[in-house]
């Protein structure tokens, strides 16, 4: 351990906490500190709210939970009296009756310093203003003779709100030498570049090196990808940790006339489709593992959605924890039966065929007796999907295995998925994956698999499944005029409607057919009630259903596709600034 002010070693503990497992998370802190001690580090840093797990949502409001977090922080603080590395760890912290998102420095047997998160995010998946109080802007901590600034996650994201305090600027002005940022930043496609851009801006403004530590792991629908990094003051990359896996690395900083500098390990990160696939694997693995399921069960249809989900499940859990069931009816084609069997053979998971004709026929007889004289319609067509859902849940009840749901984002968007059939279950790894990407990911998996994947290499999804032309089945409450456009067109329209919230007039002006756009928009709106009842699933886009996009089910507004009128500001009477301020206060 060094006390010299020209050397400073920081161990970055990019680890996977579990929300609510205070004792288990504390055990990870202890193990990371022992690794830091072995490396001769001065400081070990853990991510935002690591003691609680992130995000704790309303769990953090429970006094008993707050007390449990405080108690374990005090235990960890006492343990630092042994002369080993200091610990910088995120935790909820109550002071003066207010609950803060805090980062505490544990050293020399005490809580040596506390910093509170100043800028609380309240957009997208974040809702921190509901549960935390805004902290004051503070100066740096002194750790082993080095002045370390500790902004917490959103405190560096000035681009998100003009009302945010420039915490990094304040730290630089009050003498910080190095900026260390504990984060709980969830994955979304392209997020790595955004984080780097934000951090580069803070380094440029402050002239200080910056360490960005992010957690990894799945928490309900969120996946945290890690991908922690450090930048020198000249914007060169000091270190890059891997994505989607736990990693502990000790960075050795040296100080010269130009300030602090480090050159650590630099990992290669997956991006694009590879990163999305890795996120789906990690999200499913942690949902199953952290919730204590012995394994998973999924319906294998011979189609591409269930094939991709099966590959993800085997990669996440291993073949011994995956069970596939084909549930054929009289409309099931032989090619589907053949492809499903080939898929199971390639991936190696347990597979069985359970015909459902008796069950469907039984339901049909009950309906026929109840509604005598009424013709067959979509009701009977949906019975096979509902029967499959019932049987899958029954097998789940018998075995304890969690049902993996296999509906993709395109068909869930427009309601082409049957409740209690292919939308309901325990978890859906492709819930936020559009159909066009389902095809891309399936082809990708045959040529590549992510680090740590437990499935076999080579072709795992039969080529015949990938090359078979996609067809959109008609599902409940759909009629012939609701048939979908090609998925390339559908997904392009949905991306503009869902991700970008564009008016119909803008989408039409981009070259899409007016009637098709209007039909897709209508289907998107009327399917809101279905999506509310769907299983949770991995978030990979910037705007997923559930956490990001929340629309009322009862909603009569419809965009008519006409250009938006220009507001007439002449009709608005505005109070002068002096009178407005007088009224306000």
- Which residue is catalytic, options 69, 103, 117, 245? 117
Q: How far apart are CA 391 and CA 218, in angstroms?
A: 28
Note whether 553 and 545 are within 8 A (CB): no
Query: ω into residue 55 within 30 of 0, thus cis?
Result: yes
- Which residue is catalytic, options 48, 221, 245, 495? 48
Q: How far apart are CA 520 and CA 559, in angstroms?
A: 12
Rounded alpha-carbon distances, angstroms, from residue 441 to 272, 305, 494: 10, 10, 19
Active site residue 48: yes
For the stretch 67-73, contacts whose Cβ atoms lie closer than 8 Å and that sit 24 or more positions apart, written own/partner, are 68/22, 69/22, 69/93, 70/94, 72/22, 72/23, 72/25, 72/26, 73/104, 73/106, 73/111
3-state secondary structure of 161: coil
Q: Which helix (H) or strand (E) holds 213?
A: strand 210-214
Q: Residues with Cβ < 8 Å from 338, sequence gap 6 or more?
A: 302
3-state secondary structure of 350: strand
- Which residue is catalytic, options 153, 170, 280, 309? 153
Q: Residues with Cβ < 8 Å from 462, sequence gap 6 or more?
A: 307, 339, 342, 343, 346
Note whether 170 and 137 are within 8 A (CB): yes
Q: How far apart are CA 64 and CA 552, in angstroms?
A: 34
Pairing of strands 141-143, 146-149: antiparallel
Show the tokens assigned to 132.
Answer: 């935390």
Note the helical H segments in 348-476: 357-370, 378-399, 409-413, 435-447, 463-467
Q: How far apart are CA 499 and CA 497, in angstroms?
A: 6
Q: How far apart are CA 92 and CA 280, in angstroms?
A: 29
Active site residue 530: no
Quick one: 241 exposed, middle or buried, by C-beta within 10 A (0-12, 13-18, 19+)? buried
- Catalytic positions: 48, 117, 153
């Amino acid at each position: 351990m060094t006390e010299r002010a020209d050397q400073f070693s920081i161990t970055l503990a990019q680890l996977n906490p579990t929300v609510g497992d205070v004792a288990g998370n504390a055990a990870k802190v202890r193990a990371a500190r022992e690794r830091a001690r072995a490396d001769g580090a001065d400081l070990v840093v853990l991510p935002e709210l690591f003691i609680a797990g992130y995000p704790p949502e309303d769990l953090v409001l429970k006094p008993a939970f707050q007390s449990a977090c405080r108690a374990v922080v005090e235990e960890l603080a006492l343990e630092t009296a042994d002369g080993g590395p200091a610990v910088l760890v995120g935790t909820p912290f109550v002071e003066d009756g207010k609950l803060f998102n805090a980062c505490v420095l544990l050293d020399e047997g005490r809580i040596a310093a506390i910093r509170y998160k100043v800028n609380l995010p309240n957009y997208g998946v974040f809702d921190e203003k509901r549960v935390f109080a805004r902290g004051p802007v503070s100066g740096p901590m002194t750790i082993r003779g080095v002045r370390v600034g500790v902004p917490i996650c959103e405190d560096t994201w000035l681009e998100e709100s003009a009302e945010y305090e420039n915490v990094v600027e304040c730290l630089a002005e009050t003498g910080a030498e190095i900026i260390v940022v504990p984060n709980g930043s969830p994955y979304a496609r392209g997020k790595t570049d955004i984080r780097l851009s934000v951090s580069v801006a803070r380094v440029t403004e402050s002239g200080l090196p910056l360490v960005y530590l992010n957690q990894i792991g799945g928490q309900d629908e969120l996946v945290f990808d890690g991908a922690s990094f450090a930048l020198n003051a000249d914007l060169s990359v000091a270190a890059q940790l891997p994505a989607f896996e736990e990693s502990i690395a000790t960075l050795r900083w040296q100080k010269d006339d130009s300030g602090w500098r480090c050159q650590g390990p630099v990992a290669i990160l997956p991006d694009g489709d590879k990163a999305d696939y890795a996120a789906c694997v990690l999200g499913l693995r942690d949902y199953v593992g952290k919730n204590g399921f012995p394994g998973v069960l999924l319906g294998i249809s011979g189609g591409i959605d269930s094939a991709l989900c099966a590959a993800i499940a085997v990669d996440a859990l291993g073949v011994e924890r995956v069970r596939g069931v084909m549930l054929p009816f009289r409309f099931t084609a032989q090619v589907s039966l053949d492809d499903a069997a080939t898929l199971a053979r390639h991936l190696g998971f347990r597979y069985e065929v359970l015909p459902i004709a008796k069950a469907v026929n039984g339901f049909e007889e009950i309906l026929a007796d109840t509604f005598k004289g009424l013709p067959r319609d979509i009701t009977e067509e949906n019975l096979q999907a509902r029967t499959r859902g019932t049987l899958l849940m029954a097998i789940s009840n018998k075995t304890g295995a969690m049902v993996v749901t296999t509906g993709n984002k395109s068909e869930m968007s427009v309601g082409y998925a049957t409740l209690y059939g292919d939308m309901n279950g325990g978890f859906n790894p492709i819930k936020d994956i559009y159909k066009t990407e389902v095809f891309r990911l399936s082809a990708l998996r045959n040529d590549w698999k992510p680090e740590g994947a437990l499935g076999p290499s080579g072709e795992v999804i039969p080529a015949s499944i990938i090359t078979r032309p996609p067809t959109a089945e008609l599902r409940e409450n759909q009629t012939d005029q609701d048939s979908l456009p090609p998925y390339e067109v559908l997904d392009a329209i949905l991306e503009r409607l869902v991700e970008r919230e564009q008016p119909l007039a803008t989408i039409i002006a981009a070259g899409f057919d007016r009637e098709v756009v209007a039909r897709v928009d209508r289907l998107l709106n009327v399917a809101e009630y279905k999506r509310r009842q769907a299983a949770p699933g991995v978030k990979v886009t910037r705007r997923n259903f559930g956490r990001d996009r929340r629309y009322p089910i009862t909603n009569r507004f419809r965009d008519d596709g006409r250009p938006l009128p220009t507001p007439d500001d002449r009709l608005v009477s505005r109070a002068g600034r002096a009178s407005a301020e007088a009224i306000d206060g």
